[in-house]
Structure 1
Amino acid sequence: MSVTDAERTALRRAFELARRGPRGLNPQVGAVLLSPSGDVLAEGWHRGAGTAHAEVDALSKLSPGSARGATAVVTLEPCNHTGRTGPCALALIEAGIARVVFAVADPGDASSGGADRLRAAGVDVAAGVLADECEDLLRSWLTVQRLGRPHVTVKWAQSLDGRAAASDGTSQWITGPDARADVHERRAAADAIVAGTGTVLADDPALTARRPDGSLYDDQPRPVIVGTRAVPQEARLRRHPRPFMQDEGEDLPDLLDRLRELGTHRVFVEGGPTLAGSFLRAGLVDELLVYLAPTLIGGDRLAVGDLGITTIRDQRRLDIAAVHRLGDDILVIAHPKETP
């Protein structure tokens, strides 16, 4: 598969455009149209459900016929179905596009097949270009499409010796302000935040997404509490901008199914070592955020609960996706190598 430097540059620009679109039930998609000589003709991105898809948005900025012979560079395979809008693959064919370059194939049962339709119409197609970068952009949406459940991120903060709290149960604060600000920004990008009743009773968390000045982000995750113990009437959680949902936690896949039915694509779990261990043991974790503080605590308050591992050959291997310095702390972002 031969791809030009201009096409790679255009695809990275399409990633930037895609991020302008809202995160939600639809994927963030960007598109750049190039002339045969590699010059940018037009750009577009998807602005949300019911609006023009990225390819059509870009085409709309050109006069009729001026896209003939051009190359469309798109983050996601052009769709092949009619929903609120028509198929993007057909729109590209009718516009006279000669070549399409995209990063990630559309995994949807109804929307996939755009590449085949383009090739059948004589359009040159290059697929899988910079796929890893696009997978990161579309990670939560792709999880829903491929696995049929929300994308699950598990977060915890720990000392360098792996403790999440002191022996008396106190845990605020292990990490510094930069790390905590990063957590709140990530909370704001989630649809639901999940905590166990043990954490609610011990720490009385607000489970809101807050800016460093204490103000609330406009987007707040839905609080979800796992466990059978009652949430006290005076708990800060009861003043959350969104009403909380409580689940007994006996069937985590069922909980995720119900959250998806509510339109949840991104679940943020930070509810203590027992809950983190339960999600990991069930093979329901797509991403780990581990905040490491340069401190030692000792004792038995481990950051993660029992994973059901009794021998080293059963250890859960991880791929390290990124390591960031946040003030004095370090954030490690990792993905499980395989689902047990």
Structure 2
Amino acid sequence: MASAVEIDAMRRALQLARRGPRGLNPQVGAVILSPTGETLAEGYHRGAGTAHAEVDALSQLAPGAARGATAVVTLEPCNHTGRTGPCALALIDAGVDRVVFALDDPTDTAAGGAARLRAAGVEVESGVEADAAEALIHDWTAVKRTGRPHVTVKWAQSLDGRAAADDGTSQWITGPDARRDVHARRAAADAIVAGTGTVRADDPALTARAADGSLLEAQPVPVVIGTRETPPDAAVHRHPRSPLFYATHDLPAVLDDLAGRGVQRVFVEGGPTLASAFLRAGLADEVLVYVAPVLLGGSRLAVGDIGVPTIADARRLVVTSLQTLGDDLLIVARPEPSDPATGGHAVTAPTAEPGRPAPALTNRGDA
């Protein structure tokens, strides 16, 4: 069982892990404790191709200084050679006597570090502060489990389900409190996605902004999907992050490419056509609906065809939260659990209709 000192060290390791970037690799922190419980070194993973957290911490010690020590790590030490060597072997070679970690590594290639350590005579304790560690890298583990980023589909609507008035005007359906909430959620995402129709019609900046219009520190990568050209003077070209353009309607292929770039959370905010496409394809893990107490009528529905020809085929959702934002209401919902392998989220649709090849994926941007 982990000691109080080791638990405190794990909490410190979790703080260190948060300093690392989100991306292809998980955020991991490590603390090396002396046999008497003093902190000898700390480390964290700084991104793909850099030293893993354990090696980062060990590198700060003189040769032999870690002999008899305890390594406290937020994720099971890896057992494979990629851009760097296996951390389990590095700990063994350093003479560490005990390893305490929070989560088992969920990847087939990297798992097995605990078994390798035990085989070498190192004492191993797992599951310490596991819930906190899981919360930290939940999005990364979800990508590993499902093979694609977590997708949130957002729209704002009137009380009668319209996204705009009949003449196309839509600013502003919701009030300032709702808009502030949207920008905070944009900043928490890795990518914000819009369709070419919305980009051409509304010229959105796709940035995360404060109430005074200034840019927030965290900015999602702007992603534009669709076969129509984006005008060269579009606001998205002035985004602080280089935009990605996908000349396709193959949403699973786009998500696959984004996952390969280290994108873990996708925020879809590109108008009714794109929102409907993600819903129709079964690619929405979460739905955010901002409802304003106004009536618009007309034909500008917030969501179009999502593949529900009859009530028996309705997409059932579970409401996870309701929140008032000024005069508006925010409804957060997720698909009903349908497949344990997806963690209760929507199941990814096939990349093409039976008998038809998937559309070509063309990415003209550069992350």
User: Which TM-score applies when normalising by structure 2?
Assistant: 0.74
Q: Match of 1:274, SS?
A: helix
Alignment of 1:291-310 (within 5 A): 292=290, 295-297=293-295, 299=297, 301-309=300-308, 310=310
Given that residues 21 and 47 in structure 1 are in contact (C-alpha distance below 8 angstroms), is that contact kept between their aligned partners in structure 2? yes
Unaligned residue ranges in structure 1 (runs of 5+): none
CA distance in 1, matches of 2:147, 2:198: 28
Alignment of 1:1-340 (within 5 A): 2-35=1-34, 38-158=37-157, 163-188=162-187, 190-216=189-215, 220-232=219-231, 235-240=234-239, 242-249=242-249, 251-261=250-260, 264-288=263-287, 290=288, 292=290, 295-297=293-295, 299=297, 301-309=300-308, 310-311=310-311, 315-318=315-318, 320=320, 336=335, 337-340=344-347
- Most deviating of 28-37 and 80-89: 28-37
Shift of 1:234: 5.4
CA distance in 2, matches of 1:71, 1:319: 44
Percent of pairs with identical residues: 66
CA distance in 1, matches of 2:159, 2:71: 48
Closer/same/farther in 2, CA of residues 186 and 315 from structure 1, 3 Å limit: closer
Shift of 1:28: 1.3
Q: Match of 1:267, SS?
A: strand
Unaligned residue ranges in structure 2 (runs of 5+): 336-343, 348-367
CA distance in 2, matches of 1:153, 1:200: 19
CA distance in 1, matches of 2:268, 2:197: 14
Give a deviation string over 1:207-233, Cα, whole Å, max 9, x none.
233344434456654433333445456
**C-alpha root-mean-square deviation of aligned residues, in Å?**
3.5
CA distance in 1, matches of 2:332, 2:115: 36
Given that residues 45 and 57 in structure 1 are in contact (C-alpha distance below 8 angstroms), is that contact kept between their aligned partners in structure 2? yes
Given that residues 165 and 297 in structure 1 are in contact (C-alpha distance below 8 angstroms), is that contact kept between their aligned partners in structure 2? no
User: Which TM-score applies when normalising by structure 1?
Assistant: 0.79
Shift of 1:273: 3.1
Shift of 1:78: 0.9
Q: Match of 1:209, SS?
A: coil
Shift of 1:117: 1.0
Given that residues 22 and 262 in structure 2 are in contact (C-alpha distance below 8 angstroms), is that contact kept between their aligned partners in structure 1? no
CA distance in 2, matches of 1:319, 1:33: 43
Given that residues 79 and 89 in structure 2 are in contact (C-alpha distance below 8 angstroms), is that contact kept between their aligned partners in structure 1? yes
Q: Match of 1:109, SS?
A: coil
Which residue identity lines up with residue 295 of structure 1 in the other structure?
A: P
